[in-house]
Amino acid sequence: MKTDLRKVLSISGQSGLFLYVSQATQGAIVEALQTKKRSCCPMNARMTSLADISIYTDEEEVKLQDVFEKMHAHLGENDAPSAKSDAKVLKALFEEALPTYDRDRFYVSHMKKVVEWYNILKNHASLDFENLDAQEEE
């Protein structure tokens, strides 16, 4: 089953990723990808769709989906290094997978989030993504 990154959310103050399930009167119903537990996220919570996130490179911003695909091509079926890995390990991964990343604006803290999200998607969803560009044209 393909993953729609528009429905995969990062919620400020919560660890992990969440799948948008439905709208509720008090906010949104979300399901944690790792535990499959559903909860109601209040309207004032800061939720960000992974489809809306981009990574700075030297030329332009690259959508997170493209970064995940490049990481998958580089890593194959292996997991990405842990978010708790040494900064040198994380930088080496991104130098291989996304060599043009902007070293001044894409920090190690961002790299940690990206590898954490990559591993969650790989192990609890799918790295086969729906083509968002084709759907936006329709």
* In the chain, domain spans: 8-49, 53-128
103 secondary structure, DSSP code: T
Q: What is the pTM of this model?
A: 0.90
Question: What is 53-128's CATH number, 3.30.450.20, 1.10.10.1650, 1.10.10.10, 1.10.540.10?
Answer: 1.10.10.1650
Mean pLDDT, residues 63-75:
95
β 18-24/27-32 pair status: antiparallel
> Could you give the CA distance from residue 91 to residue 1 in angstroms, rounded to a whole number?
31
Mean pLDDT, residues 40-59:
94
pLDDT band at 1 (very low <50, low <70, confident <90, very high): confident
The one-letter amino acid code at 69 reads E
